[in-house]
Each structure stands twice: as C-alpha cells, then as structure tokens.
C-alpha cells in the first residue's frame, strides 16, 4: 500500500478545522455568558462591583440589541439597597 505525504493543503485544512471549532466554542461561551447576565440582576450587581468594565461592555451590547431598560432598572434597584 502506498503512503502519500501530507501536502500543504491538507495541513491547512486541519488547521482550518481546528480554528473553526475554537471559534464556535468561543461564540457559544459568549452567548451563554450573555444569557446569564441578561437573566440575573444579582449577577449583574456582582459584576458591577468586581468587573465594571465588563458590565459596561454588556450594557453597550444590550443597548445595540434594543433593550436599554435593563441599565435603568438595575440602577434603580441598586439605589434601593
């Protein structure tokens, strides 16, 4: 049986597949974290204390999507505490 050496294209294809899997994994993780932040005011409060820049980025993305009331409701709820 003859063995053919790997060509540059087959190595490129393997790297492309690995890159695609990593990209999909990062996208899925980002979506899960966004959903968790979107559904939990307590988690957003925790992030406002520990990671305010990350929470600000979340609010910017949420504003682009069209749900700008979350920031206002969070600040109103946190002022009551």
Q: Report the pLDDT value the prediction gives residue 8, as an integer from 0 to 100.
A: 65
Domain ranges of the chain: 8-80
pLDDT band at residue 6 using 50, 70 and 90 as cut-offs: low
The per-residue pLDDT for range 46-62, each reduced to its tens digit, is 999 999 999 999 999 88
- Scored b (16 or more CB within 10 A) or e, 35-51 reads eebbeeeeebeebbeee
The per-residue pLDDT for range 18-74, each reduced to its tens digit, is 999 999 999 999 999 999 998 999 999 999 999 999 999 999 988 888 777 888 888
pLDDT at position 1 over 90: no
Half-sphere exposure of 71 (CA within 13 A, CB side): 14
């Amino acid at each position: 049986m003859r063995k053919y050496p790997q060509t540059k294209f087959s190595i490129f294809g393997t790297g492309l597949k690995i890159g695609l899997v990593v990209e999909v994994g990062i996208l899925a993780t980002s979506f899960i974290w966004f959903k968790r932040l979107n559904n939990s005011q307590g988690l957003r409060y925790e992030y406002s204390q520990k990671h305010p820049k990350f929470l600000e980025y979340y609010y910017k993305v949420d504003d682009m999507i069209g749900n700008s009331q979350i920031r206002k409701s969070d600040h109103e709820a946190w002022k009551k505490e």
